[in-house]
Amino acid sequence: MTPHFSKEELTCKCGCGMLPDPIFMNKVELLRVTVGFPFPVNSAARCAKHNKAVSGTGEDGPHTTGHAIDLGLSGAKALTVLNTALRMGVFTGIGINQKGNYPGRFVHLDDLPNAPGQPRPHIWSY
Binding mask 12-31 for Zn ion (x = CB under 5 A): x-x-x---------------
- DSSP code per residue over 90-125: ---EEEEE-SS-GGG-EEEEE-PPPBTTB-SSEEEE
Which of these segments, 20-28, 43-51, 71-79, 118-126, binds Zn ion (CB under 5 A)? Answer: 43-51
Task: Name which of residues 50 to 79 contact Zn ion (CB under 5 A).
Answer: 50, 68, 70
**Considering only residues 32, 67, 105, 108, which one is a binding residue for Zn ion as defined by CB under 5 A?**
108
- The rounded distance, in Å, linking the Cα atoms of 115 and 17 is 27
Q: How far is the CB of 48 from Zn ion (least distance, A)?
A: 8
Residue 68 or 81 with smaller CB distance to Zn ion? 68
Q: How far is the CB of 89 from Zn ion (least distance, A)?
A: 19
Compute φ and ψ for 64, nearest 5 degrees.
-70, -15
Half-sphere exposure in the Cβ direction for 123 (13 Å, CA): 5
